[in-house]
Structure 1
Amino acid sequence: MRQQEDSVHRIIALQEEVEQLKHAVVSHAVVDQAIGVVIAYAGLLPGAAWDVLKEVSQHTNTKLREVAEHIVQWPHCEWLPPEIRQALDASVERHRPSSALPGSVAER
């Protein structure tokens, strides 16, 4: 009987772990897509775009995944929550190389 209970608890723990891993994979994909949007928007390198996402999350007190979801949807809906947009633009400016290209965010 004890062995059967242990097996049931182990199965439940494994099912929970699988669900957590599925969630992590989806979150990772959304964050990767958001990095791509920031790269396209600001002309930053991937590492700098990642730093921008982290800063926006921290400065707006919003979970990174939520920030990423907003940024991924932004090109389609053409809207970002104002606090995320302000934090995004400020962070992009901090991470932009000193030789910004004409027509980039810095000139908008």
Structure 2
Amino acid sequence: MSPSSPDPHTQSPAVSVDELVAELERVRAENRQLRQALASHAVIDQAIGVLTVLGRISPDDGFTVLREISQHTNIKLSAVAEHVLKYAQGAALPDVLLEEVRSALTRHTGGDRPL
């Protein structure tokens, strides 16, 4: 191999403009999804904190309560979390959520009804 010839081990395969554009779009979509997941995770963590205080339960139990509410009402976990946060700020919970929050907290607090 002469000093001026390229090293075949360091050359990258040729990539078309279309492939680069497709990869850029894929990365942008993934970035949007990760940003949304991060925001949703923060809301869920805050709602767990609210349930922990309301029910005087552990954070693990707070997550379990949040998940049970979501499953029993067929409402997305992030949407339940948003309602719980709004409740903590003074808004009313929809009746279906209020009853399920009470039931779930009662199951995890040994019968005390915190709400």
Which TM-score applies when normalising by structure 2? 0.82
Quote the residue 1:48 is aligned against: 61
Encode CA deviations 1:68-103: one digit per residue, 9 max, x unaligned: 0000110223410110111111011111147x5xxx
Correspondence for 1:39 among 41, 52, 62:
52
Work out whether 1:59 is the aligned partner of 2:72. yes
Matched residue of 2:16: which SS? helix
Q: Which residue of 1 aligns with 2:104?
A: 91
Root-mean-square deviation (Å): 1.7
Measure the CA separation in 1 of the matches of 2:38 and 2:101. Answer: 24
Q: Considering only CA atoms, is the larger Rg found in Structure 1 or Structure 2?
A: 2
Identity %: 34
- 1:77 is paired with a residue of what secondary structure? coil
Which residue number corresponds to residue 41 of structure 2?
28
2:17 matched to 1:4? yes
5+ residue gaps, structure 1, are none
**Structure 2: any 5+ residue segments left out of the alignment?**
1-14
CA deviation string 1:34-90 (max 9, x = no partner): 000001111000000000000000001000000000001102234101101111110
Distance 1:5 1:45 in 2: 51
Bigger relative contact order (CA 8 A; separation at least 6): 1
**Following the alignment from structure 1 to structure 2, what is the Cα–Cα distance between the partners of residues 25 and 54?**
18
Count of aligned residue pairs for this structure pair: 102
Name the CA distance, whole Å, in 2 between partners of 1:9 and 1:78. 44
Deviating runs (4+, > 3 A) in structure 1? none
CA distance in 1, matches of 2:67, 2:58: 15
